[in-house]
Amino acid sequence: MTSPIELPEPLDVIAVGAHPDDVEIACGGTLAKLVHQGYRVGIIDLTDGEPTPNSPGPAARLMEANAAAAVLGIHKRIQLTMANRRLFDGFEQRVMLAREFRKWRPKLVIGFGDKTPLASPDHWQAMQITDGAIFYSRLTKWDEHFDHLPVHSVERHLYFRLALEPDSISGLSHHVTVDVSDTIEQKIASIQCYASQFAHKASILDRVRAAAVVTGSLAGVAAGESFVAAKPYAIDDLVKTVHGG
């Protein structure tokens, strides 16, 4: 008889990016806020993000990623072994990510929700891999592909958009804005950890901050990050939800 698999303490939320720094730019303020609110938060980077023009290599990029995670208070950062610049949605990629969902059992997964024109096509592939992995995570009678980890159903799935992309995702109507007024500076500090990616781009921090101000101003707060629900969801307390209490 097979012994039960010993699982780690679960994460409440996992954010998935194609490369280290994607998640910080997209929703670093929200992740930091969730940590402050007492939730256990993780980040999964599908690739190591290398090679890039100004980075010494994967080891240096990993150090930057871990430093950024520490700034945000992230409980667990995981780097998978998919190929940067050659990231494609496929069976093996979906299974690799689904194994992590089964292992860490998140209630909420946040990931890419659209293409990023003039930026990496890996982002669009990451969206499709994440969509597929959420579905694979809950499939029964397929244990041999998942190291016999128990099935797990992710309760909610939100799409993010990069801070410098349009403020809404075309074709999807269920947008929500998170007030990150108290954590925008943590987000900025986490992005600063990626010296190899942004030290030569002097305007990036001002642009990210400005984007958060614009997003927040539409909802009446100082800074915000917007998300789209992959499908509609119901709320229990309308006043508390809408009032922000």
Please name the residue that has the structure tokens 């099935």: 151
Q: Mean pLDDT across the stretch 222-241? A: 91
Q: Give the largest Cα separation in the chain, rounded.
A: 59
4 or 162, which is more confident? 162
Please name the residue that has the structure tokens 């610049």: 85
Q: Mean pLDDT across the stretch 190-196? A: 98
pLDDT tens-digit profile of 59-110?
999 999 999 999 999 999 999 999 999 999 999 999 999 999 999 999 999 9
- E strand map for the chain: 13-17, 41-47, 76-82, 108-112, 156-160, 175-179, 224-229
231 or 84, which is more confident? 84
Listing DSSP states for 118-160 in one string gives TS-THHHHHHHHHHHHHHHHT-SS-GGGTTTPPP---SEEEEE
Residue spans per domain, the chain:
13-232
Q: Mean pLDDT across the stretch 16-31? A: 98
| pLDDT confidence bin for 1, thresholds 50/70/90 | very low
Structure tokens at 104: 């860490």
pLDDT score for 167: 78
| pLDDT confidence bin for 3, thresholds 50/70/90 | low
Kindly compute the dihedral angle of the four CA atoms of residues 40, 28, 107, 226, in this order, to the nearest 10 degrees.
Answer: 150
pLDDT score for 230: 87
Chain centroid to Cα 213, Å, comes to: 20
| Fold classification of 13-232 (topology level) | Rossmann fold (3.40.50)
